[in-house]
Amino acid sequence: MGELRKDYILERYVLISDTRKDRPHDFNKQQKVQIMQTNQTNKSNKICSFCPGNEHLTTKEIMHIGKDGKWIIRVIPNKFPALELKGKSVITTDNKYYTYSDNYGQHEIIIETDKHGEQIFDYNREHLIKLLHLYKARIMILNNIENIKYVQVIKNHGKDAGASIEHSHSQVLAYNIIPTLIQQKEQACKDKSDRFDEKCAYCEIIEREKDSYRRCFENNSFVAFTPYASRFAYEITIFSKQHKLSLIDFNDAEIEELADIMQKILAKLKELGADFNFYFQNGVKDMHFHVEFTPRINIFAGFEFATDTVINTIYPEDAAKWYRGE
Ligand SMILES: [Zn+2]
Ligand SMILES: [Zn+2]
């Protein structure tokens, strides 16, 4: 068991989960090899529980997408979950400053491929579309669990981005609060819109940015640009052109277009060679859907932690030029 705790005064939460300290690390050379059988493309030469044939080493499968009688994408509960569907989901405050609940929620792993050496930028269009449909399905399913307030889909690519297992995977975390960041974005969006008497601030931002120096890629349904105040070198965000809130609001044709624009970004991130995260920012009440990609080149250090002001060494306008291949 663990706990969700809020800062004494700030709207800032932490999940404390001491089971996670026991999780394995493919990238940690000291880890002992317990099982001898290994996959040929497995560079670390260790047994990979995410590879086909080793299903018995994982937690019990939740669902999968199959092809020719075999799974090609597989969903399992995280063996070392930060969140669990038990205990108390109601957030309580004791003695004024101690706000907490149990770490109520669900923490899932999506094994994105049956091929060990393949990474997310290597998938063909059809496979990436299937993965996006699966993300959408998990959000819809987990949204329906009692007291789940938000479902977050994330991808950590590489050790510097927080991945501990080599075999390409994403994670889904569903829990009992709307993340503060999402609440802040929704409120800021609403405040700006009210002030300028517009429907959605992001809608107007997209209109401006898609013709700016920061524009990178565009298709019928989506546009990608490097944000004006990018915090990360080569940070890039995809926005839907239509005012939609969440991945679950897109139809099949739109999911295909999202895959297309993601493939363009992922190909460039492969070229960049840096580890990266991407994560879906789904609105709850009225925030405009977007997906943020954050290459992990610059390390947040004392100044960033002290002030929440990040030093980014690459101008977003230069990053956009690089994405456009200029
Ligand atoms: Zn594997
Ligand atoms: Zn909008």
Q: 79 C-alpha vs ligand 2 centroid, how far in Å?
A: 38
Are 216 and 141 contained in the same domain?
A: no
Are 216 and 197 contained in the same domain?
A: yes
Its sign, for the CA torsion 122, 124, 130, 133, is: positive
Are 199 and 213 contained in the same domain?
A: yes
131 neighbors 148 (Cβ within 8 angstroms):
no
Q: 111 C-alpha vs ligand 1 centroid, how far in Å?
A: 9
Domain with 207 in it: what CATH number? 3.30.428.10
Of the candidates 122, 154, 177, which is a domain's last residue? Answer: 177
Which ligand has the nearest atom to the CA of 118? 1
Are 11 and 151 contained in the same domain?
A: yes
Which ligand has the nearest atom to the CA of 290? 2
Which ligand has the nearest atom to the CA of 207? 2
Which pTM was predicted? 0.92
Q: 236 C-alpha vs ligand 1 centroid, how far in Å?
A: 29
Are 290 and 215 contained in the same domain?
A: yes
Are 277 and 142 contained in the same domain?
A: no
Q: 143 C-alpha vs ligand 2 centroid, how far in Å?
A: 22
Banded pLDDT at 233 (limits 50, 70, 90): very high
Q: 37 C-alpha vs ligand 2 centroid, how far in Å?
A: 51
Which ligand has the nearest atom to the CA of 116? 1
Provide the mean pLDDT of the chain: 92
Q: Where are the beta strands (DSSP E) in the chain?
A: 3-6, 13-16, 63-67, 70-77, 92-94, 98-102, 105-111, 150-157, 169-175, 215-218, 222-225, 236-240, 276-281, 290-295
Whole-number pLDDT of residue 35: 33
Q: 38 C-alpha vs ligand 1 centroid, how far in Å?
A: 9
Are 217 and 293 contained in the same domain?
A: yes
Are 16 and 131 contained in the same domain?
A: yes
Domain count, the chain: 2
Banded pLDDT at 286 (limits 50, 70, 90): confident
Are 22 and 65 contained in the same domain?
A: yes
Are 15 and 104 contained in the same domain?
A: yes
Are 130 and 218 contained in the same domain?
A: no
Which residues are close to ligand 1, an ion, with C-beta < 5 A?
48, 50-51, 116, 167
Domain that includes residue 300, residue range: 181-324
What tens digit of pLDDT does each residue of 22-54 get? 776 776 544 333 333 334 456 566 899 999 999
